[in-house]
Structure 1
């Protein structure tokens, strides 16, 4: 009965919250003043999603709902705030395997189905205290951390249960220079409260970044040091040092050139059982014209051939990279080269569907060590809003050559957030 009530609430929430009752003179979800200089801001984020997987031996049909709720209390005179947020995920249709790893006795480990890592769970998502001014911020507690494009550290917000960190983070801006440093003792994973030892991983995690703007160009140096305590995660202990350069240049009144380049070197750390060194390389060019953006790029997650070990990014928002079919969430031992091209279009003049956008991406994947073609993939998406509800339809089609199996995936999603 409890599950049915929660299911009904979660199913109704994207539509119900899109047309909420309003307090006098206030829009639902806006901060509410409760004392001199003190406001309370409600946090509500409801999402309903279907995810279908079609591959040769196992399929999946997952209908899941996620409700995230909390409050943020701010005291303007002291620049202090307190935030608490809980998160619950419900499997409405359970024809999917929630855990891609062995987990004894779990009713959500259903190996007859393909993996969709959106486990049913109830979690404390964030619990933080923050001091923030225009030039400085200090955040302590369980928090969401998204760095740059989330290639190395991100919240994995595409999954129903996001990744957060138990950490202290300091951010400072000194003119054109920005400094960002984090020390975390725990990675709270996407697998949720029912994932046993993989619900969270302890360790010492340090994220450091320093960037500066030079006109339209932003340059950044970074380091990510990951030292895990759990034996099953030792292989992800690493130290990565690198830099990235990005900018946008107007070529004319209607044409814009976007440039992004990055390089990093990674080697083993702590109790990693393998001694290795591997390179990361990214080069990307894009042209924007009247709402169209054409982007072409090359990304390499290299491999140490002698060690049989490749460049890994275990804290990244991995779904954003190397194809939405999620074949390369773990970089193959032979490394990965991804050649890709994307055509995106924003359609702001379609007033009936605010925020209407579409894109198509083609990927060609190769081994860094042998050059063998792993496979190809087509991805496509369409998004828009009706009222407060954001709608997304996505499709991925991976055609295997020498790695993995053919896989087609479809997503239909509705979300509302305040």
Structure 2
């Protein structure tokens, strides 16, 4: 009887051991499969840029090749990982331009903000499940139309952030986002990166006539000083059909406070846009006001994709102390398999002074198209006519790209 019990116990232990080993093996196999059976990506952009300005700086030209290589793992119990490297090189010796923050040709040529570099572009762990997702590590973070938080994808060194980002959808049409940023990885390799303690809040609700969004962006540079740039706003954007015409509309308002040891400022932001799409052609009229605090401070958006706004000539990457009012007209459509865009900007100061009032005007033109699944090419031109002491500037870009 004792022998039978021992045999039974031995069999039970053996079965449990085999089950445990099998379970651990299956776990290890699934985990290994998630790591090894992921997706590799490659993104190349060869671009020529030319800048001419009516100042003492010599005309600038750059031919650069940006290479981005990445790998995204498969998913294991909702978790995945991603790593991406980015590199930019001057091609054929065409590097007659200035990049001030990295000390390249300082003070000689006009600026083209594409330094040579090799860096870790993204590296994060991600979780997705039940309407919730989170990323921890170096990553791209964008909010809405990039006006306040963007990736500056136009430059060869894309902007990323170190930190934690989350997204939650408690209701079908409600999306809530939160991000905490510990470092802003700017567009000048590591030369202009900024340690930070930024909190980003964004909640949007989809209605039958558009998307209503509320946000709060609480920015702080982590430099052992008292400083804060807090922006709270509301945004609505949508469209509706009127016969054969699609009507477009957007409105946004934000209030900002900037506080430091030596100064305190307040300024407001207002954006209104209306347009229509008819027979494939889009026409829009826009009004954007980055307000001023008595001519001493202009509304600031330091995390934005600034090239997208206030003209492609990049003459207002920093808002003037007198503020900025940008009235624009945009036409866009399709041609020969690609897309064309023409934009006119008229710039004025929000709070004019005797020396600063009319801030000039600009014409922007672009055409881009894709070739097959992987290739693209484009041309883009910006002509800024300066006033109130600002110089004229002309910029031209030609590029080809490939993504795999």
Shorter chain as normaliser: what TM range?
A: 0.7 to 0.9
Q: 1:18 maps to which residue? A: none
CA distance in 2 between partners of 1:273 and 1:223 (Å) = 24
- Indicate how the Cα distance of structure 1 residues 95 and 133 shifts in structure 2: closer, same or farther if over 3 A, else same: same
Q: Which residue of 2 aligns with 1:206?
A: 199
Matched, 1:289 2:278: yes
Please name the residue that 1:365 is paired with. Answer: 347
Q: Give the alignment's TM-score, normalised by structure 1.
A: 0.84
What CA distance in whole angstroms lies between the structure 2 residues aligned with 1:286 and 1:244?
A: 17
Matching residue within 330, 338, 341 for 1:342: 330
**1:11-53 CA-partner distances (Å, limit 9, x unpaired):** xxxxxxxxxxxxxxxxxxxxxx983797311121111000100
Greater alpha carbon shift after TM alignment, 381-390 vs 276-285: 381-390
Q: Is the 8 A contact 1:234 1:273 kept in 2?
A: no
Task: Report the equivalent of 2:109.
Answer: 113
Q: Secondary structure at the match of 1:35?
A: helix
Q: In the alignment, which of 256, 265, 282 is matched to residue 246 of structure 2?
A: 256
By how many angstroms is 1:404 displaced? 1.8
Indicate if the aligned counterparts of 1:70 and 1:85 stay in contact, CA closer than 8 A. Answer: yes
SS at match of 2:307: helix
Could you tell me whether the CA contact under 8 Å between 1:274 and 1:309 is conserved in 2? no
SS at match of 1:319: helix
Deviation at 1:230, TM superposition (A): 3.5
**Are the structure 2 counterparts of residues 283 and 95 from structure 1 closer, same or farther at C-alpha, using a change threshold of 3 Å?**
same
| Structure 2 CA distance for aligned equivalents of residues 224 and 244 of structure 1 | 14
In the TM superposition, structure 1's runs of 4+ consecutive aligned residues that sit over 3 Å from their partners are: 33-39
The answer for the alignment partner of 2:79 in structure 1 is: 80
| CA drift at 1:110 | 3.1
Matching residue of 1:396: 382
Change in CA separation of 1:219 and 1:210 when aligned onto 2, cut-off 3 Å? same
Q: Distance in 2 between matches of 1:413 and 1:404?
A: 28
Q: Is the 8 A contact 1:366 1:374 kept in 2?
A: yes
SS at match of 1:379: strand
Partners of 1:238 and 1:272 within 8 A in 2: no
Q: How many residues align?
A: 365
**CA displacement at 1:162 relative to structure 2:** 0.6
In the alignment, is residue 226 of structure 1 matched against residue 211 of structure 2?
A: no
Give distance in 1, aligned partners of 2:262 and 2:88. 35
CA-based RMSD: 1.9
Distance in 1 between residues matched to 2:33 and 2:216, nearest whole Å: 42
* Residue 33 of structure 2: aligned partner: 35
Partner residue, 2:15: none
How big is the shift at 1:80? 1.3
Query: CA 1:300–1:403 in structure 2 vs 1: closer, same or farther (change >3 Å)?
Result: farther
Going from structure 1 to structure 2, the CA distance change for 1:62 and 1:272 (only over 3 Å counts) comes to farther
CA pair 151-272 structure 1, distance change in 2 beyond 3 A: farther
Aligned residue in 2 for 1:95: 96
Residues 406/61 of structure 1: CA separation in 2 closer, same or farther (3 Å cut): same
Structure exhibiting the larger radius of gyration computed from Cα positions: 2
Paired residues of 2:45 and 2:67 also in contact (CA < 8 A): yes
**Residues 143 and 202 of structure 2 are in contact (CA less than 8 Å); yes or no, is this contact kept in structure 1?**
no
